[in-house]
Amino acid sequence: MLPPLLVPLFFFAAFKGALSGVGDSEGFGYYDFTAFVFVLILFMAAMFVGAFTSFDIVDAYEGGLGRRLMAGAPRRMAIVFGFMIVDVGRCLLGMALVWGVVLATGMDVRGGVLDIVALNGMALLLNLAIFLYGTGLALRFQSAGAATLVLIPLIILVFLTPIFTPRDQLSGLVEKAASVNPLTAAVESGRGFMADDPISVALAFGVCVGLVALFSVWCVLGMRKAEQAG
């Protein structure tokens, strides 16, 4: 559980320590820079857990366990659901750890109980989306090379969101990329939950559910590819 959390927590420490002055800049407009950054860190931690759990599937197939599981499971998607249960458990524990670390730094949370539940629910949906995406790749390639195809797009997706400032303070290519990035809606809505000022809730959850649905199909097709490969 710990390896996928190290990078998000490292970024949180770096952003909070080196860039906290951004929160005092003119036009920043958000109540707390730590809370502003935390939303993305929470989502990053959840998504990294999903990615790393999909790597377990790669290991299973490389070691021959995956084929033995397929031989013993008439309903092959049950294998994916088993790994998904592990993924959700890891994600919930990981999110709890991230919350604990960040709250220990004195972060101010203005959102109510429902706001925080919604924020964590969104993080869990993103976790499932990345898990299903990575699993689809793992089933297709069944080799460690799939890890690169999971992590690189994920890192690009994360860093093309409004990380340090609100989107209206971005410009040029970064602003355009953030505007079409599906993760941006979730990040901005999550920051609204933290500030007790929900925004774009339907859009954000629609994007998250849409990603889960899209990658569920991708995962099913990946399992069919694995079945054909024997």
Phi-psi region of 196 (alpha: psi -120 to 50; beta: other; left: phi over 0): left
Question: Residue 79 and residue 162: Cα distance in Å, rounded?
Answer: 37
Q: Tell me which amino acid residue 21 is.
A: G
Q: Which two tokens stand for residue 139?
A: 């089933």
pLDDT at site 81:
92
How confident is the model over 77-108, as pLDDT tens digits? Answer: 888 899 999 999 999 999 999 999 999 988 88
CB-based burial of residue 71 (10 Å sphere; 0-12 exposed, 13-18 middle, 19+ buried)?
exposed
Residue ranges per structural domain of the chain = 3-11+30-229
How confident is the model over 187-200, as pLDDT tens digits? Answer: 999 999 999 999 99
Q: Tell me which amino acid residue 131 is.
A: F
pLDDT at site 212:
97
The segments of the chain whose pLDDT lies below 50 read: none
Nearest alpha carbon to residue 223 among 76, 78, 82: 76
pLDDT at site 230:
60
On average, the pLDDT of the chain sits at 88
